[in-house]
């Protein structure tokens, strides 16, 4: 029987479905209607021979093969490509289905796994690493991948693994990253392995990397990466044998080099000159009315100036209010301190710490603050407790736990002191799932009376509990069960916080849907758990760009249909999603909400304008805020919020970021996120907390402040200026070869500033970077193969 001339190669191979675009285009070449009569006859002959090659009769197969050898090569190559890839891909799909069926029936799978071995080997040799990984995920045997990677394909394989992990449910996501870690370690790509170890929060892996690597210079780069991530790692003899080397490395982890590098950047960009609050307000650009806000009380004005001054001059070690000499005509820090009333003095004193950020040459904070946490004055106690929480965030310091836990258990302690003790413990033990701290906070919540649970600061107790489980997913379940025994008023609030903290940064779609479900309910005004649910949507969805955009759209719907307590939280959630990354659509939404008839919605929107523009010096947001200062010149509360936002936009004179993500948005710093979330939860009740006497809670943002720089250093850790290309990052996952990773780039000399979404790469081959991602401190070593032209 003659073959059907319209039959495709896929049909000839025995499979009629599952055709990809690539296969379709190849078949189109063969099925071209414009073929000459001679070519068409050859095509039909070849189809016949392909069919006979698969005949059971060996004699017929031999004749067909001999006949094929006389056909022109171009047809044979095209047909073989179609047949091979079509068969392999369809076979992989059929194996996946067969495997699932046999698993459900508890059948034998050995024969399938032999086929899988051959298909994976084929894919890995033909630049089809994603197909190999997908097949192994389907048959639940990713370990096989380790034996098939080589120096040519392991980087593309690991890039696909780490990218796909964000879209997988637990525990598959952790398994995929484990395989990527093993592969990187196998090929001695230790910096990449370290980033995965930090993502997994696996300190045992971190120790393995230090012990496996013998190069001290590489270990210094590891320490810079760990320091940027913001976790406490104590190096021991096994990780670093030499005592002198260990001391240098520990100093890097403790961020003692950060101030020096930050000021190097500032000098290079020529922004060392201190700025005053008036330089930020730019009141002279406004029309005459309201430029100074004359009707606003001076105490609130001074407090606003304190914060603006602290934010703008953060880390520079000098300003025009606090660090001026006492004989200066402008007055001394003491004079400015006493221009603030009562609790305002607390924020004024704390502002000095922010100006001297990363450069406090003093004894450990515990020695200085430890004696003050038992004083009678609540303000002094809170100041000491908060100071310890910020200083030792993420350290899991047992000594401080011993001092703070008794405060939680003392029924005579004022509620505000207990609330700050809970937050500080949450920060110190962030993401640790520490049972003793969790029990102490749970007992403190159980001991509170109905009246106390209605106090605004009570919301910090469940938050302190939630921070213990930040990003730990299912580990929160036991504590979530215990929370069901709480007073009805606090139980739902606690549930929302535990859920949003545990799945923060995971992108878990089911949890986002759960939180949206709580936001869709129309409840009595007494209910206040929907605010944390709205913030939770942002916390969970901020993991990757697609989820982030979907969350922004969902929040827009909540603005239209949600109750008032939900609308008050939406601007804060938008601020978290786009922190230090002023997306135009979000900026426009917040600008609209800053004129909302509900003053609390307007205040939250103004604060969030500051958050999305934090450290960017964004001219459009700065203009919006100047106009708002004129618009709200008679409203002391709203004008105060405008001033805070202005200080945030010019954070560190535009050299700092609050974004908790780093290393190409792969790693999420737990301490940075904890600091931001604490501040946002306080903003859920702006009037009672931030506009009351607890404004210093804004200083928790210091945990997220980091220079947004690339500073290259030589082997002696001295700054080294080299040309780099900086442009928008391009996703190259699944692309074969060496595709370009940035677009629209410009060439600069280091140090350079990196905006949100920027990526840098070296513009010279003279040096080799020891970090795969050019952010923060990057050590360069000379390329031995480099030759000058």
Average pLDDT along the chain, 789 residues, taken 10 residues at a time: 39 40 46 61 74 78 70 54 59 82 82 87 88 90 92 93 87 92 96 96 94 94 95 90 91 91 93 92 70 58 92 91 62 64 80 82 71 85 92 92 92 90 96 94 82 78 95 91 83 92 93 91 74 95 91 93 89 97 96 95 97 96 94 92 96 96 94 97 93 93 95 94 95 83 93 94 94 95 86
- Domain finish residue from 85, 106, 123: 85
Give residue 25's pLDDT: 47
Task: Indicate whether 546 belongs to any domain.
Answer: no
Give residue 464's pLDDT: 96
Strand order in the sheet with 709-713: 752-753, 709-713, 776-782, 767-769
Number of structural domains found in the chain: 2
Q: What CA–CA distance (Å, rounded) separates 657 from 312?
A: 12
Closest CA to 197 of 231, 242, 170: 231
Task: Indicate whether 570 belongs to any domain.
Answer: no
Q: What CA–CA distance (Å, rounded) separates 340 from 66?
A: 97
Identify the residue whose tokens are 């003279």. 766
- Record the tokens describing residue 624, joined without a space: 């919006």
Task: Indicate whether 604 belongs to any domain.
Answer: no
Task: Indicate whether 611 belongs to any domain.
Answer: no
Identify the residue whose tokens are 């749970």. 442
Write the CA distances from 289 to 280, 294, 626, 738, integer angstroms: 18, 9, 13, 59
Angle at CA 501, nearest 5°, toward 315 and 504?
A: 80
Give residue 6's pLDDT: 40
Task: Indicate whether 454 belongs to any domain.
Answer: no
- Domain finish residue from 85, 120, 147: 85
Identify the residue whose tokens are 């290309």. 725
Q: What CA–CA distance (Å, rounded) separates 348 from 570?
A: 30
Buried b (16+ CB within 10 A) or exposed e, 264-287: bbbebeebeebbbbeebbeeeebe
Beta bridge partners of 782: 767
Do 420 and 696 touch, CB atoms closer than 8 A?
no
Task: Indicate whether 50 belongs to any domain.
Answer: yes
Angle at CA 570, nearest 5°, toward 568 and 574?
A: 140
Task: Indicate whether 726 belongs to any domain.
Answer: yes
Q: What CA–CA distance (Å, rounded) separates 393 from 404?
A: 14
The residue range of the domain holding 763 is: 709-782
Task: Indicate whether 178 belongs to any domain.
Answer: no
Q: Cis peptide before 751, with omega less than 30 degrees from 0?
A: yes
Element (H, E) at 662: strand 661-662
- Record the tokens describing residue 672, joined without a space: 């940075």
**DSSP one-letter string for 212-244:** H---HHHHHHHHHHHHHHT------TTT--SHH
Phi, psi of 563 (to 5 degrees): -70, 170
- Domain finish residue from 85, 117, 148: 85
Angle at CA 584, nearest 5°, toward 554 and 290?
A: 110
């Amino acid at each position: 029987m003659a073959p059907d001339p319209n039959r495709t190669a896929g049909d000839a191979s025995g499979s009629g479905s599952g055709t990809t675009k690539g296969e379709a285009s190849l078949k189109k070449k063969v099925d071209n209607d414009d073929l000459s009569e001679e070519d068409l006859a050859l095509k039909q002959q070849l189809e016949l021979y392909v069919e006979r090659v698969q005949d059971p009769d060996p004699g017929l197969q031999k004749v067909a093969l001999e006949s094929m050898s006389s056909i022109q090569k171009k047809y044979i190559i095209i047909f073989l490509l179609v047949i091979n890839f079509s068969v392999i891909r369809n076979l992989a799909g059929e194996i996946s289905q067969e495997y699932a069926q046999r698993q459900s029936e508890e059948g034998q799978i050995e024969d399938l796994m032999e086929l899988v071995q051959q298909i994976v080997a084929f894919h890995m040799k033909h630049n089809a690493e994603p197909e190999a990984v997908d097949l192994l995920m389907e048959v639940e045997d990713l370990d096989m991948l380790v034996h098939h990677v080589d120096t040519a394909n392991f980087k593309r394989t690991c890039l696909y693994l780490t990218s796909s992990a964000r879209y997988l449910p637990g525990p598959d996501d952790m398994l995929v990253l484990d395989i990527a870690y093993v592969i990187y370690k196998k090929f001695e790509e230790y910096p990449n392995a370290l980033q995965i170890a930090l993502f997994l929060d696996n300190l045992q892996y971190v120790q393995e990397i230090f012990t496996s690597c013998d190069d001290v210079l590489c270990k210094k780069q590891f320490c810079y990466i760990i320091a940027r991530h913001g976790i406490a790692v104590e190096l021991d003899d096994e990780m670093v044998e030499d005592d002198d080397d260990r001391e240098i490395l520990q100093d890097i982890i403790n961020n003692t080099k950060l101030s020096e590098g930050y000021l190097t950047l500032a000098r290079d960009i020529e922004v060392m000159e201190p700025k005053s609050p008036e330089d930020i307000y730019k009141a002279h650009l406004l029309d005459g009315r309201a430029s100074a806000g004359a009707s606003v009380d001076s105490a609130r004005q001074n407090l606003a100036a304190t914060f603006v001054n602290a934010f703008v001059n953060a880390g520079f070690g000098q300003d025009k209010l606090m660090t001026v000499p006492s004989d200066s005509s402008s007055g001394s820090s003491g004079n400015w301190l006493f221009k603030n009333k009562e609790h305002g003095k607390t924020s004024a004193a704390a502002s000095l710490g922010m100006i001297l950020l990363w450069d406090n040459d003093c004894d450990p904070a515990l020695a200085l603050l430890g004696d003050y946490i038992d004083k009678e004055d609540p303000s002094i106690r809170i100041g000491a407790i908060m100071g310890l929480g910020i200083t030792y965030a993420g350290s899991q310091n047992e000594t401080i736990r011993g001092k703070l836990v008794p405060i939680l258990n003392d029924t005579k302690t004022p509620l505000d002191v207990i609330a700050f003790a809970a937050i500080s413990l949450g920060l110190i033990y962030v993401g640790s799932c520490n049972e003793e701290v969790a029990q102490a906070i749970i007992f403190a919540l159980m001991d509170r009376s109905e009246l106390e649970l209605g106090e605004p600061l009570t919301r910090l107790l469940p938050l302190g509990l939630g921070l213990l489980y930040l990003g730990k997913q299912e580990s929160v379940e036991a504590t979530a069960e215990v929370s069901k025994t709480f007073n009805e008023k606090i139980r739902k609030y606690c549930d929302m916080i535990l859920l949003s903290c545990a799945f923060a940064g995971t992108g878990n779609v089911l949890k986002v849907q759960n939180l949206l479900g709580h936001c869709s309910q129309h409840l009595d005004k007494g209910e206040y758990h929907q605010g944390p649910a709205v913030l939770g949507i942002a916390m969970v969805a901020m993991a990757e760009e697609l989820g982030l955009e979907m969350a922004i759209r969902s929040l827009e719907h909540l603005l239209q249909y949600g109750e008032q307590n939900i609308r008050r939280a939406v601007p804060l959630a938008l601020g978290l999603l786009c922190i230090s990354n002023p997306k135009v659509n979000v900026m426009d939404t917040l600008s609209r909400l800053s004129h909302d008839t509900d003053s609390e919605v307007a205040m939250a929107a103004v604060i969030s304008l500051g958050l999305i523009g934090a450290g960017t010096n964004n001219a459009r947001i700065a203009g919006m805020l100047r106009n708002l200062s004129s618009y709200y010149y008679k409203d002391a509360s709203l004008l105060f919020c405008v001033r805070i936002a202005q200080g945030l936009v010019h954070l560190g004179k535009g050299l700092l970021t609050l974004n908790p993500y780093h290393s190409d948005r792969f790693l999420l710093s737990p301490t940075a996120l904890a600091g931001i979330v604490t501040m946002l939860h306080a903003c859920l009740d702006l009037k009672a907390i931030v506009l009351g006497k607890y404004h210093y809670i804004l200083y928790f943002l210091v945990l997220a402040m980091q220079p947004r720089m690339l500073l290259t250093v030589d082997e002696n850790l001295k700054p080294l200026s080299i040309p780099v290309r900086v442009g928008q990052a391009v996703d190259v996952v699944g692309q074969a070869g060496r595709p370009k990773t940035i677009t629209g780039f410009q060439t600069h000399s280091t140090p350079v500033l990196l905006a949100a979404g920027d990526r840098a790469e070296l513009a010279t081959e003279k040096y080799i970077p020891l970090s795969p991602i050019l952010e923060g401190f990057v050590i360069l070593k000379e390329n031995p193969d480099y030759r000058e032209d």
